[in-house]
Amino acid sequence: MTRRDNIRFELQGELAAVRNAQALGAQLPYVQDRAIATLKRRLPVFARRDIQAEYNLKAGRINQDLIVRGDGNGISLSGRWGRGIGLLNFGARQVRKGVTAAIFRGKRELHQGAFKARLLSGNTQIVTRSGAPRPMTAGRYKGKRREPLAVEYGATIAQALAKGRRPERIADFARGVLAAEVERLRESYERRGRKSASG
């Protein structure tokens, strides 16, 4: 089963704290739905950019493991937590002594004895040979004794999402979006009200 680390934002308390939210009266549930929809759209983009500022990953690869869900009470942002992201995604380069890769931006490290290989699944990964030699059961070395291949992995998106002060930055961003959305809708309803009254 895939594990996920969650950052959850409860919106009920935040809505109550936003200035002039109660003035919306009967429109408040609609505003809440709009706020959740806006956050669902903007939160993964902010989280992805924040992760990219530290980790050497392309946007598409981060988005692949980010999950955002919303309901009437709040939003959860999750990162998939599995075996990690293959080292090939971290700008891996084959060199004479192995493979260099930069999991963190600007910090390239050597993985001694590693190399790029096409696996039986068809995927290309960065691997090392480890363990006692054993007879291979498939592939071009079938029947020969070889050390098994071990795929080299970097961080998971769940780890990146939970690292350092990132959860606090994401929470601050969520609160800011919520406050701005409520204020925007409040002003919109006030303008409509004035037009109706003058009409």
Residues 109-148: tens digit of each pLDDT:
999 999 999 888 888 999 999 888 888 788 777 878 888 8
- For residues 78 and 110, state if they share a domain: no
Span 147-164, pLDDT tens digits: 888 999 999 999 999 999
Residues 189 and 93 in one domain: no
Beta carbons within 10 angstroms of residue 129's beta carbon: 14
Per-residue tokens: 126: 């960065």
Q: Residues 41, 138: one domain?
A: no
Is the model's pTM score more than 0.75?
yes
Task: Verify that 80 and 160 share a domain, yes or no.
Answer: yes
Distances (CA, A) of 115 to 88, 93, 99, 121: 10, 9, 6, 17
Size of the chain in residues = 199
Number of domains in the chain: 2
Torsion over CA: 54, 55, 61, 67 (sign): negative
CB 174 within 8 A of CB 68: no
> Domain span at residue 99?
87-151
